[in-house]
Structure 1
Amino acid sequence: MGVIPFPPRSPGAGAPPTQIGFDRPELTRILDLYGRMVAAGHWRDYAIELGRDAAIFAAFRRAAERPEFRIEKRPALRARQGMWALVGEAGQVVKRGHELAPVLAPVERRLMKLVED
């Protein structure tokens, strides 16, 4: 048995991946924000879903409810409105863009308000 790449690669060169994932800098940025929200006492749990069309990081205030925010990476939308989206608890798109940092800005601002209180 050999090393199995994660996420698994599609057979054939140039084929789309069978699973979308976060790369290390993206996940580092997301987990850094998550850790600061946990330290502020706002978030308590998270979930990661890696699918064929999207990679989703969901942050929860409590484990038994809908996520407060979902950070979605959808490479198929890269050429249109941007592959990153911040989705609110009710399913509304809060922010969409081509870069991760501006998409996370509304949560960063909320964190600043939590720390100031």
Structure 2
Amino acid sequence: MTIQIPTSFAAQPEQVAFHRTELAPILGLYGRFVAVGEWRDYGLSCLREVAIFSVFRRTAEHSLYRIEKRPKLRLKQGQYAVIGAEGQVLKRGNDLKAVLSVLERKLIRAVD
């Protein structure tokens, strides 16, 4: 007896993760914020439907920002999002560098 698995279940990965090409701009931005003393720690979570890169001012605090990747939203709102400490979506889209630009502007203010 053969069991057929529906293609909708077979195509889903076990967990969502950032690819190396996605982590490079994220870590580059993180390094620049660390250099100016704004950020001190980060956390990376790879879950079933979302991958999250969280940045912290101090390890024991809540995250300042979360960079999320939700592949299911790529055809709707965009798979990448930057979310603030209070849960507000600061920017969303399919181009990671464009989404990270909202944080780039904060870096320019921090350096001034």
Query: Would you say same fold, with TM above 0.5?
Result: yes
Q: Which residue of 1 aligns with 2:66?
A: 70
Quote the sequence identity (%): 52
Q: Which residue of 1 aligns with 2:32?
A: 36
1:57 deviation in Å? 0.0
- Partners of 1:24 and 1:33 lie apart in 2 by 14
Q: TM-score, normalised by structure 2?
A: 0.89
Cα deviation code 1:23-52 (max 9, x no counterpart): 111101100000000001000000000000
**Shift >3 Å, 4+ stretches:** none
Secondary structure of 1:62's match? coil
- Partners of 2:74 and 2:102 lie apart in 1 by 21
1:105 aligns with 2:101: yes
Q: Which residue of 2 aligns with 1:82?
A: 78
- Partners of 2:11 and 2:102 lie apart in 1 by 35
Structure number with higher relative contact order (C-alpha < 8 Å, ≥ 6 residues apart): 2
Query: Which has more helix, going by share of residues?
Result: 2
- Which blocks of at least 5 consecutive residues in structure 2 are unaligned? 1-6
State how many pairs are aligned: 104
CA RMSD, 1 decimal: 1.1
- Which blocks of at least 5 consecutive residues in structure 1 are unaligned? 1-11
From the CA coordinates, give the structure whose radius of gyration is larger. Answer: 2
1:74 deviation in Å? 0.1
